[in-house]
Amino acid sequence: MIKKIRQKFNKAFIVIQIKVLSLFSKRKAAERALEIFSIPWRRTNKQPYGIFLEAEQLTFDFQGTTVRGFRWSRAGARKATILHGHESSVLNFETYIHGLLQKGYEVIAVDAPAHGLSDGKSINALEYRDFVIQLHEKYGPIQSYVGHSFGGLTIPLAIEKIAHDESFRLALIAPATETTTTIDGFFKIIRSNDRRMKEEFEKLIIEIGGEPSAWYSVSRAVKNIKAGILWAHDEEDSVTPLADALKVKEKNYPNVKFVITKGLGHTQIYRDEKIIKTIVDFL
C-alpha cells in the first residue's frame, strides 16, 4: 500500500513538474519528459532462485553500465536468449529456460540496463537494440530469441542489423509494435496535450538516434527480416494494443505466424503454459 501511494505521489509530482517547465520552455519540458520516459518507474527486487542459482553468472560492461545475467548449458546445440519487457527481469522467465534446456539449447539471459540485477537508471529503444547486438557479438551467434513487450520491439530492431538467415527464430510476445503508440500513451499518463512540447520531444528523439520515433517500429523492421517469426498477442492487451499488431498481420508475410489469444492481457500471456510450449517448440 505504501509503495502504491509513493508511486502515485511521484507521478503527480512529475505531471506538475513538466507542466511548470512547459510554461517557460517547451524544450526543457520535453527533455524532462524524455528522461522520465526512459526511466523504469518500478524495478523488480527479485533475487536469483532455483535454476538461476545453477547458472553461470555473467557480468559485463555495456556503454559504461554493469549488466548481469546468466548462462546455461554452454556449447549447447543452439543458442537462445530472452529479452524481458519494461520494468521486468529475466528472472520472470524461468519456465522458458527449463523448456529450452530440455531441447538441448544453450540459454543466455541478461537483465537490460536499469532492470533487475543490472545497474543503470534508464534505457531507450536504441540502447536496448545495441544491448542485444552486443549480446550476439559477445556470446553468439545467437539464433533464437524470445522477447516480451519492450523486448519484443527490440529484437526486430537488432536482428535487421545482424547478419542472419531463415534458420533464425524470433518469438515476439505482445511486442510494443509502434513506439509512436507508446509515446501517445505516455503523454496521456503525464496528462499533456501540449503540441509544441511533443514536437520538441520528437526532435530530441531524432537528435539522439538520427531517426524519428516512427522508425522504432516492429512493422517497419519486420520487412527487413528473413528469420521465422512467431507473434503472440492478446485481444485484451491494454498496454500494447492488438490493433497495431493486426496491421502487420494484414501484410501476410510468409515468415510471420500469429497466435491471437483472448483473456490473457499483456502480462499473463507470457506466463500462459500453452503459449510457453508453443514458443519453445517453435524455437
Instruction: Quote the CA–CA distance of 73 and 56 in Å, as a whole number.
Output: 9
pLDDT the model gives residue 6: 44
- Confirm whether 101 is domain-assigned: yes
Cβ atoms < 10 Å from Cβ of 10? 12
Structural domains counted in the chain: 1
Q: What percent of the chain has pLDDT over 70?
A: 95
Residue 126 within any structural domain of the chain? yes
CA distances 122 to 43, 89, 128, 243, 278, Å, are 11, 14, 10, 28, 32
The alpha carbon of residue 17 and the mean position of all alpha carbons in its chain are separated, in whole angstroms, by 27
Distances, alpha carbon 256 to alpha carbons 100, 145, 189, in Å: 21, 14, 32
**261 domain residue, yes or no:** yes
d(CA 1, CA 61): 36
Whether 146 is covered by a domain: the verdict is yes
Read off the CATH number of the domain in which 155 is found.
3.40.50.1820
Q: How many Cα atoms occupy the beta-carbon half-sphere of 180 within 13 Å?
A: 11
Give the residue numbers spanning the domain of 142: 50-178+217-282
Domain assignment present for residue 32? The answer is no
- Does residue 276 lie within any of the structural domains? yes
Map residue 251 onto helix, strand or coil.
Answer: coil
- Rounded CA gap, 112 and 66, in Å? 10
Confidence of residue 93 (pLDDT cuts 50, 70, 90): very high
pLDDT the model gives residue 10: 64
Helix/strand/coil (H/E/C) assignment for every residue in 57-90: EEEEEECCEEEEEEEECCCCCCEEEEECCCCCCH
Q: What is the pLDDT of residues 205-221, one digit of tens each?
A: 999 999 999 999 999 99
Can you tell me the distance from the alpha carbon of 271 to that of 33, in angstroms, rounded to the nearest whole number?
A: 32
DSSP 55: S
CA distance 31 to 197: 9
Instruction: Tell whether 103 is covered by a domain.
Output: yes
- For 107-139, write each residue's pLDDT tens digit: 999 999 999 999 999 999 999 999 999 999 999
Lowest-pLDDT choice from 43-57, 60-74, 231-245: 43-57
For residue 18, being part of any structural domain is answered with no
